[in-house]
Structure 1
């Protein structure tokens, strides 16, 4: 999950009105959907940069998905990596992953996509280390070596790293033109547009910050999208959810993508001229326990690991995810029963089977028995922190409902408190929060991306959770080449961490797009890759 997009659960909104112009990179204007030959996309997402080494936010990645190709990618409808710009990728020894390019590939400007371009792209991605950029390549890649004009050897930090093909599908591995991009610094949007070093299905013709981006089909592209369905696409940027809703209602745009409120989606779903498309997404929301400061934690007044586990498990027995999804999020989130989201190969549902009624529902009697068997006196006082300026205003309703669910059992007395994000991350990482809300999304579609960052040694949670068996299993799955065996190990990891409950997984965000009924192809791109591909859309 990179550095890892734990701060990307809610899109930031750019402070410009519909009638105000931002800092212009070109003369692009917002357009209506009346032009039958141009597809119009609307979003509230913000673009921070269009250099793959300089951005990992949702808005930037969505646009970069259209203009850059990867060595490996996922075909629409799949989450599994396969060669795109590459002809093949394979381990030639435990620490060397060899990539062989397809012949005759070119950037939009006509420059060759060759071994030099691949080495340049991967090396700068790992070396620039921009604080806003993705970190996967830096973590995985030790060095690169050109074998011949179409072949590059990638020397990896970890032997037999089975996550590397997945990393090659991520924004970290976008292939850029050495004659356009700087080797050791971020390249500006103006220079990117001027240089036309695009390797993806579209090239960016113009971009006006906070207003619009214009894309046209890249005639030199050859990849997982056989041929783009629409040659010209406009992406219009709106300053608020209300503006986005209004423009899809009035058919000024063909598709609304990120972000509409649950209430707005419910309203738009009743419009016969529109259709709400949804599928499991890559964003997750969860409750994290600090093993030191939670009730009966290692640094509490009454440390007792067995009682602390019973408290965590009883909470898991009582939480009603479906009620939260329905009442608070109106179906824009769905129940999540593992740290690995549904739709990713290897995902299981251990929380559904281990807790509550065994089918996803709550069970107060089971929770009561757990606490009684462990000798825990009830009601147990719980202090739970949540955040609204980062995870959205609906978090207040979400945690009010969780409080209600826990207290209705008579087993817990819950205090909930909201803290501003400016101090939230520091406080949870230093142990000030005994139980707290977190959320985020992955960077590539692999179960490891949703497990190692949470449960590996030195994980970002810093919540005192340690399990040597989990460390061993994570190391094993990462190097297991047999896909069936690897999935079995991933399932073991998910089972074990669900028994320990460092995180109580709650909700999985839906990928949601609202489109006119005349728009085709939306469902084809709402898959486990979690990439919104404009090239498969048409009207």
Structure 2
């Protein structure tokens, strides 16, 4: 493992040799540095990848998206509205503060209080009250039976040291964070990198890498660094770089199916999409095999709905809408649009490339698109600014549950949704409020079938994420797309590229 030269930090060509640093993991996960390292102020995949090395919640996901213990060693349901957690003993924050029930209570309250400003607070609105029963016991009470509570806590909530958070203040804490995680904050060189050091007192054992450095570089500089042996992991490897990496002496390809799709919300209250036949035509007009080939260079699989294999609620028996442009044109004509139809939509930047491929497919059957590009910072304002027929964008699933993407795109209470469909909302609520896992999964499959039957979104694909990884690093990717890096380790053997997991 190696450190980057100052020239490479600045995005310039590196011309001199790079000093090797054994035990250091150099990783590129994003071109841009985060705005904050305070988990109460962020809600994004890239930020969270850094933060979950520093912070932990009561529970977390394993690499396949299953709930496992973290700061809580066990939990039990006291009644339909209450879950009790028993805390792990002997855990201390990086500043030496002990983990106790009061720290958990104050942290959870800072996430669920709308006045505190956590961007994902709407996904935690089931939580009514947090009670510190004793030093090692916490109870979380919800407003309704919440079968998704553990997934909400694993994907969204981390525990902060109350004394340090109060003494440091929000501004300082955002640039010098303190958690209980496997790595400690070591420094932030603005515009260049964030450094984390191994926590020697971590409750699960000190990580095998003594330091992690997150570098913020343009994509091509990330690839150059990987090929030269200066970067160990590139998490968003472009498909155009795959062949170069496969031929590289230093790096290999690692692939992992992730909970990530591209889709959106349809306005079925007014306009052409009120008619089911138009929504069906929209989906029959999309050649998903071609979409996967050109958008992902083959690194994806077509989807029948917004849910994905491995998520709770996914129905494996559903098959994607068949590509049938003749049927799509016939459905449009039957709906009263023999000359086609024009749809206006808001497109997030993450979905722009996908829509550039989809748009000509739709145009061939008579569906014309007029779009406005938006960003994460302005998407809600843009959606609410005028009448739209659809929204479109990429969406990961940090909760490892079909509830998340469906609630973002389709729930009538979501600020990202154009859909107002009481029957859909009722089915979604039924899944969420079902506590028994097998019954909840069946309720989710019913919702999945309803979503496809009513063609409530533009269904596309599940992404297979492609990583470039140094041959002397054993990297453990995660189905959420946000890996826990303490699970990765250095080794001497140089393995061949493995199959998609």
Do they fold alike, i.e. is TM over 0.5? Answer: yes
Contact 2:226–2:250 (CA under 8 A) maintained in structure 1: no
Contact 1:431–1:463 (CA under 8 A) maintained in structure 2: no
Contact 2:151–2:400 (CA under 8 A) maintained in structure 1: yes
SS at match of 1:182: helix
- When normalised by structure 1's length, the TM-score is 0.80
Q: What is the correspondence of 1:445-456 to structure 2 with a 5 Å cutoff?
A: 445-456=400-411
Q: Please state if 1:63 is matched with 2:50.
A: yes
Q: What is the correspondence of 1:292-331 to structure 2 with a 5 Å cutoff?
A: 292-295=269-272, 297=273, 305=274, 308-331=275-298
Total equivalences in the alignment: 478
Rounded to whole Å, the distance in 2 between the matches of 1:109 and 1:407 is: 59
Distance 1:508 1:430, change over 3 A: farther
Per the alignment, residue 210 of structure 1 pairs with 191
**1:368 Cα offset (Å):** 4.6
Per the alignment, residue 404 of structure 1 pairs with 360
Contact 2:126–2:142 (CA under 8 A) maintained in structure 1: yes
SS at match of 2:84: strand
**1:140 Cα offset (Å):** 2.8
**1:79 Cα offset (Å):** 0.9
Q: What is the correspondence of 1:348-367 to structure 2 with a 5 Å cutoff?
A: 348=315, 352-353=319-320, 355-356=321-322, 362-367=323-328
**Residue of 135, 140, 150 corresponding to 1:165:** 150
Distance 1:384 1:267, change over 3 A: farther
- When normalised by structure 2's length, the TM-score is 0.86
Residues 222-263 of structure 1, C-alpha deviations (whole Å, 9 max, x = no match):
25xx6523222222222x112212111211111112x44332
* Stretch of structure 1 that moved more, 490-499 or 210-219: 210-219
Rounded to whole Å, the distance in 2 between the matches of 1:183 and 1:458 is: 37
Distance 1:417 1:211, change over 3 A: same
Contact 1:269–1:276 (CA under 8 A) maintained in structure 2: yes
Per the alignment, residue 37 of structure 1 pairs with 23
Rounded to whole Å, the distance in 1 between the matches of 2:58 and 2:356 is: 46
Residues 62-108 of structure 1, C-alpha deviations (whole Å, 9 max, x = no match):
11110112111123x33121221112122212222211112222223
Q: Please state if 1:231 is matched with 2:210.
A: yes
Per the alignment, residue 532 of structure 1 pairs with 483
Distance 1:212 1:488, change over 3 A: same
SS at match of 1:509: strand
Contact 1:127–1:138 (CA under 8 A) maintained in structure 2: no
Distance 1:375 1:433, change over 3 A: closer
**1:267 Cα offset (Å):** 4.1
Per the alignment, residue 278 of structure 1 pairs with 255
Task: For structure 1, list consecutive stretches of 5 or more residues without a partner in the other structure.
Answer: 1-15, 22-30, 298-304, 357-361
Rounded to whole Å, the distance in 2 between the matches of 1:127 and 1:413 is: 44
Residues 401-454 of structure 1, C-alpha deviations (whole Å, 9 max, x = no match):
32332344xx41524445454876545435533234233223321222222333
Q: Please state if 1:391 is matched with 2:372.
A: no
Contact 2:103–2:159 (CA under 8 A) maintained in structure 1: yes
Task: For structure 2, list consecutive stretches of 5 or more residues without a partner in the other structure.
Answer: 1-5, 12-16, 491-501
Contact 1:62–1:531 (CA under 8 A) maintained in structure 2: yes
Q: Please state if 1:342 is matched with 2:329.
A: no
Distance 1:323 1:449, change over 3 A: same
Contact 1:265–1:276 (CA under 8 A) maintained in structure 2: yes
Contact 2:412–2:420 (CA under 8 A) maintained in structure 1: no
Contact 1:248–1:256 (CA under 8 A) maintained in structure 2: yes
Rounded to whole Å, the distance in 1 between the matches of 2:361 and 2:179 is: 51
SS at match of 2:131: strand
Query: Over aligned residue pairs, what C-alpha RMSD do you find?
Result: 3.0
Q: Please state if 1:499 is matched with 2:459.
A: no
Contact 1:399–1:416 (CA under 8 A) maintained in structure 2: no
**1:350 Cα offset (Å):** 7.0
Rounded to whole Å, the distance in 2 between the matches of 1:183 and 1:321 is: 53
**Residue of 38, 52, 62 corresponding to 1:51:** 38
Contact 1:338–1:348 (CA under 8 A) maintained in structure 2: no
Contact 2:112–2:124 (CA under 8 A) maintained in structure 1: yes
